[in-house]
Structure 1
Amino acid sequence: MFRKAASARQDWVMRAEPTEGIERIEAWFHGKAYALHRHDTYAIGRTLAGVQSFSYRRGRRDSLPGNTIVLHPDEAHDGQAGTGEGFRYRMIYVQPALFQHALAGRALPFVEGGVTTDPRIAAATETLLQRVDHQFEPLEQSDALAELARALAAAAGMTGERGKGDYSAARRAREYLHANHTRVVTLEEVEAATGRDRWSLSHDFRTFYGTSPYRYLTMRRLDAVRRMLLSGVSLATAAADAGFADQSHMTRHFLKTFGLTPGRWLQIVGNVPRV
């Protein structure tokens, strides 16, 4: 099932039920969509109508219908309509760990610019950027993600060499953080779980997963918050249950990560478009 997120001039978001490591949305905004923010996933999308404008890596980018957007993990960006007509787009958010299954320990690919017309990337995103009510078969999604990882690597000019770092240690750290994200995790715990000192591990984690260990931990908490908010849990309860110190602590991280306050996010996800 998918969630529809009102009438003609209101902003809206349609959101597919998230699967392991991937989130899919289709949205329409008529003005300012998102404040400057960053998340620990790849954000890969296609503009369907209008001009989709955003700040990215010290410049403004404008995506036209048919263009593919590729935003790297932990790169700050915002979003707004480039004209008064608004814009419509689809986007997938892919955890770098999924691409690592296909990349086999290579560093994450970086595609310059934020907007691309590379035909390899366009073709590789066709399956994943279908309507949000499309239900993927497990093998269909897995094959599409592998194809997209290879297309990104090719567009980035990557060789087959493995990234410089300890991929096994980074993977163990990710698994440990994932399993313990609702509580405070100490540096000593992560060092013991991985057999790697904290400084080397921080480098390894960013090389293979595109972000820092603490950012990864925070994102898993925010994922839990969004699930709870959609089920009707209060902000304060969601913040506490996800492992944040309090509601204001959670709200600050939510805004920095998604470019929206929790209340605004709930509002647009709750809108039902007439399309």
Structure 2
Amino acid sequence: MSETMTATKPKSRVASKANEGALGGLSLNEIHHGNFIELVKALPDRSVDLIIADPPYNASKGGAWSMQHGKLPGFGGDWKKIAEIWDDMPLDDYLAFTLTWLAEAQRVLKSTGSMWVHGTYHNAGISNIAMQILGVEIINEIVWYKRNSFPNLSGRRLTASHETIIWAHRGGKREYRFNYEHSKDGDFSHDNLKSAGKQMRTVWDIPNNKAKEELAHGKHPAQKPERVSRRLIQLSAAPNDICLVPFAGAGTECVAAKREGLRFIGFETEKEYLDIARNRLEDS
């Protein structure tokens, strides 16, 4: 395992304009309007250092879908969101979707790179299975404990108070970056489960509330707090690395990458959220 760099503490390290440019046929430091599975084909193999993916969890019901983009033999057809409800697919279609976007992510990720994939009980198991099918190796499964999680209003089940984050690399030789010293000695004072100077464990206590500035331009229904993405970056990336964000939403991961001194490429299909994300980046 590579331990080649100790990450700095979470201060803004904004990449300079000189570092902007293009990768393959896509501009860097931009969120592109469109479907990740279609547009990512313009990126070369093994060309990005980090991927932070917050895909649809398939937790909603009632939407209409048409499978039109991306295909893997034996796993249904292709996919494309065609309705406002973007989080509802039949199980076989969702597996096909997951295999398709993960295969592209694996293709463009460097052997020294890391991939972080968000999920809940709705989809984390499918992401895990899809990774095993593709030969993507799982490094850790993180339990993100949300101490201020929303209560269960029906009173018919336990209050959901955690999500899952899978840390993985593309498979093959284990060359991925791990900023181990930072994981032990960095400032994680907001995390009640992290002891100073001790190894970081796989349960993280990170409140789900967002700073006022994170919501100033609007919000996404599945928006994560910026501090989560900044931790992922600090653990597994270096300044000037390229961070790929397949499902940019309101732009949190791209904002975090910019503030940590990385270059980024994001993708978002919904114009409403794209506008929010671009406005946030202008203010970052």
Q: Which has the higher helix share?
A: 1
Higher relative contact order (CA 8 A, sep 6+): 2
Same fold per TM (> 0.5)? no
**TM-score of the aligned structures, taking structure 2 as reference length:** 0.28
